[in-house]
Structures are given as structure tokens and as C-alpha cells.
């Protein structure tokens, strides 16, 4: 297949460009379920006129259906998207990128979604879908899944369906506490949504994200918190995001003195309340209740999910510093940033 694609790229490059554009549109509709023209145009960085023209073309070929709610894939359209996925990965060289990242960072698996979630909400949702899919393959009997907060984790929760557990007992637990401005994306909320969507069960961790060491020790004596922490530390699967250090610090309303320390030490990434420099060294740690870096060693599978060209440096920093990571789920833009960095 590859020699044919190379020849086609040389002789009729426009054909491949058009095919990729139509695949992106079909894939976005698949992820959304039902999508309107304006939403698609904004997310795919296309004009509404282009989306309308391409959608009409795909409808004429029986791949899309239109309704008052928007457009959605037909069964034929769904089949075409599945068949095109492998071809698109090969076209963009994503398979080889995955292999190179696996080798470079000693990972079991690297899943790369085409596109850039900085520009497309649908790419971030696709990352969430991929996370849910990978977790599902590791379920066995009774499984405890610890999950952090964040928009990517929330997207993962929204993609989970009632058949996710397939009859197995699954318990979702928040990897850490957190009382912040955006409750929708906090770990407690994400764990609860995952349980709700999969008919599973969950536990809550009633603890603020930032606490003094004295208060932390006091809270750890509370039976409910002690039980929750025990479950979190014995999680079979850990799913977490990777944040940009300074952006996360500002979001947490970090005091200016502490923020200055992070900037002076060139903090790049954040995960589990740990801040890393570009070499992956921990340069600052929050006093929190929940999963610690050392606890990752006890998990059967650890999955990190983050995408976007803007997250490339943060992901690389965390890959350099993580004590245990099995699977990275990211997007094409972040993967290219990782491979360009030395």
C-alpha cells in the first residue's frame, strides 16, 4: 500500500489532501454523534461554506444523514471511517512515530490521534475515546481505576458507555482531592461520571487540593479519607493527565512567591501535584492527599493522556521524570513536538 500512496502523492497530491479533509469531517461527526455545521467548521478550522459543500458530497454518497439536530454518520459512513483509520495513520507516518516514541521513552504503547487538540475539540474527544478503549482491554474481575481531573479526563468519562465493564466489577476513585473553580473537571466529578456512564461504582475523596502538612496529617486520620486513600493507592489502573506547570500553578492561584520559585527553576510540567523541569527532575511538590508518584509502581497499568502542540514540552518533561508509565495517549501535534525535541 505504501508504494502506491507514495506514487499517488507525487502524481495527484490534491487527491490525498481531499481524502484527508473528508476523513477529518467524517471522524469529527463520528465522535460528536450528531454535529451542526457551525460547530464542525469552528472545530476543524474550516469555513461553513466548505463544511456545507463537503457534507453535501458525503450525503450524496450515503455516508451522512441530515436532520434538524445536525448531521450524523450512516452505517456505511461508519464503515468507511473505520476502514480509513489505518490508511490515515500510514499516510501521516503516525505508526512510525508511535514506534519511535515507544523506543525512545521505553513505553509499552503509544496511541497517537491525528490532528491537534489545541485547534480541535474533536481531537481531544478522540484522545478520550482512545483512553477508554485502552482501559477496557485491561479490565479483569474486580478493577480499581484511579483517575485525575482535567478536561481530557472529563472527555474520557463522557465517551464511556454502559457496556464498558462488560459484566466486570469496576470501581472508580479520584486520584486526588480538589476544591477549585471548575468542579466539572475535578477528579471526584470525573470518577463519578465514569461510574454513572458505565454502571460502575465510585468513591469520593473529600479533601482540598492544597493543604498545610499539619492539616494533611489530621485529615489522614479520618476514617472515610483513610479508606479512600487506601483504595487510591491500591488502584490497578491509573489514568492521568499532564499539565503545563506555570498554567497549572496560576489556575491553582499559587502565591506569587511560590510561583516565582517555579519560574526561576524553569518548571515545565505538572502531574499529581509534582512540578518537573525539562530534564524531568521534581523541583516542587504540593502538600496534597491522594496518589503519589511512588504509588504508580504498584499499579498494573499507568496511562497518561495529553495532547496539543502547546503540551509538547510538558509531556516530554513528564516522560523524562515519571517513575512508571506504560501507555501514552496523545495527538499528532504533540507527538511531532516530542520527536523534534532533543
Calpha distance 166→313 (Å, rounded): 37
More confident residue, 217 or 329: 329
pLDDT tens digit string along 128-161? 999 999 999 999 889 999 999 999 999 999 999 9
pTM for the predicted model, two decimal places: 0.88
Give 238's strand partners: 146, 302
Question: What's the rounded mean pLDDT across residues 71-78?
Answer: 94
Average pLDDT across the chain, whole number: 90
Q: Which of 141, 216, 154, 162 is nearest to 183 (CA)?
A: 154
**pLDDT at residue 269 in the model:** 97
Calpha distance 267→259 (Å, rounded): 10
If pLDDT is split at 50, 70 and 90, which confidence band does 318 have? Answer: very high
pLDDT tens digit string along 40-67? 998 888 899 999 999 999 999 999 999 9
**pLDDT at residue 6 in the model:** 67
Structural domains in the chain? Answer: 2-90 (1.10.10.10), 93-340 (3.40.50.1360)
More confident residue, 68 or 13: 68
**pLDDT at residue 12 in the model:** 65
Amino acid at each position: 500500500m505504501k508504494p502506491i500512496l507514495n506514487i499517488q502523492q507525487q502524481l495527484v497530491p490534491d487527491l490525498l489532501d481531499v481524502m484527508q479533509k473528508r476523513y477529518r469531517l467524517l471522524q469529527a461527526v463520528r465522535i460528536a454523534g450528531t454535529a451542526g455545521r457551525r460547530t464542525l467548521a469552528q472545530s476543524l478550522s474550516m469555513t461553513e461554506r466548505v463544511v456545507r459543500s463537503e457534507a453535501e458530497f458525503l450525503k450524496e454518497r450515503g455516508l451522512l444523514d441530515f436532520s434538524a439536530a445536525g448531521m450524523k454518520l450512516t452505517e456505511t459512513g461508519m464503515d468507511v471511517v473505520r476502514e480509513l483509520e489505518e490508511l490515515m495513520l500510514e499516510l501521516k507516518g503516525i505508526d512510525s512515530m508511535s514506534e519511535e516514541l515507544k523506543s525512545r521513552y521505553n513505553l509499552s504503547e503509544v496511541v497517537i490521534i491525528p490532528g491537534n487538540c489545541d485547534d480541535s475539540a474533536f481531537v481531544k474527544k478522540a484522545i478520550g475515546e482512545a483512553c477508554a478503549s485502552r482501559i477496557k482491554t485491561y479490565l479483569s474481575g474486580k478493577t480499581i481505576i484511579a483517575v485525575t481531573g482535567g478536561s481530557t479526563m472529563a472527555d474520557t468519562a463522557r465517551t464511556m458507555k454502559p457496556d464498558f465493564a462488560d459484566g466486570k466489577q469496576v470501581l472508580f476513585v479520584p486520584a486526588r482531592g480538589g476544591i477549585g473553580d471548575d468542579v466539572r473537571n475535578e477528579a471526584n466529578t470525573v470518577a463519578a461520571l465514569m461510574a454513572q456512564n458505565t454502571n460502575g461504582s465510585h468513591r469520593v475523596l473529600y479533601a482540598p487540593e492544597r493543604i498545610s502538612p499539619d492539616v494533611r496529617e489530621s485529615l489522614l486520620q479520618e476514617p472515610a479519607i483513610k479508606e479512600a486513600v487506601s483504595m487510591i493507592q491500591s488502584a490497578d489502573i491509573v489514568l492521568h493527565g499532564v499539565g503545563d506547570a506555570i498554567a497549572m500553578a496560576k489556575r491553582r492561584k499559587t502565591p506569587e512567591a511560590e510561583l516565582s520559585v517555579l519560574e526561576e527553576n524553569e518548571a515545565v510540567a505538572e502531574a499529581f501535584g509534582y512540578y518537573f523541569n525539562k530534564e524531568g527532575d521534581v523541583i516542587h511538590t504540593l502538600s496534597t492527599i491522594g496518589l503519589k508518584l511512588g504509588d504508580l509502581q504498584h499499579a498494573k497499568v499507568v496511562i497518561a493522556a495529553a495532547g496539543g502542540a502547546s503540551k509538547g514540552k510538558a509531556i516530554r518533561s513528564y516522560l523524562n521524570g515519571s517513575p512508571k508509565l506504560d501507555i501514552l495517549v496523545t495527538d499528532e501535534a504533540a507527538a511531532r513536538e516530542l520527536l523534534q525535541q532533543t
